[in-house]
């Protein structure tokens, strides 16, 4: 039962992300919502033991979050990081989700 619930949650979150990208998230709020959804997908995938898909969702979350920051601050430098940068914070996140460099 738990496995099917995770599957439905993952499919639902993927649907929301796909809709957000097709609809064209154009406000910082939209990007933050897409980031939060992608983070939930990453968490579900990680709990299911699927590190590759968890890391892909984590990358999507970070990309949407960076877009929100750029829209909110106007600072394009905020978009320079990735989940594979050398910062301690990203190393911790990668370890949590099982992402390999």
41 pLDDT above the threshold of 80: yes
Task: Tell me the pLDDT tens digit for each residue of 78-96.
Answer: 556 677 787 888 889 889 9
Please report, for residues 8, 18, 34, 62, the alpha-carbon distance to residue 21 in angstroms, rounded to integers and kept in the order given: 20, 5, 9, 14
Q: Which two tokens stand for residue 99?
A: 């992402």
For residue 48, the model assigns a pLDDT of 93
Residue 20 vs residue 4, higher pLDDT: 4
Task: Tell me the pLDDT tens digit for each residue of 53-66.
Answer: 999 999 999 999 98
Biggest CA–CA distance in the chain, Å, is 46
Return mean pLDDT, the chain: 80
């Amino acid at each position: 039962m738990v496995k099917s619930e995770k599957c439905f949650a993952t499919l639902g979150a993927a649907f929301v992300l796909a809709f957000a990208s097709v609809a064209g998230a154009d406000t910082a709020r939209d990007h933050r919502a897409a980031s939060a959804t992608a983070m939930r997908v990453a968490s579900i995938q990680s709990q299911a033991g699927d590190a590759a898909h968890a890391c892909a969702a984590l990358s999507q979350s970070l990309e949407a979050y960076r877009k929100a920051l750029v829209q909110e601050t106007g600072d394009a430098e905020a978009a320079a990081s990735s989940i594979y940068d050398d910062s301690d914070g990203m190393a911790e996140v990668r370890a949590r989700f099982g992402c390999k460099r």
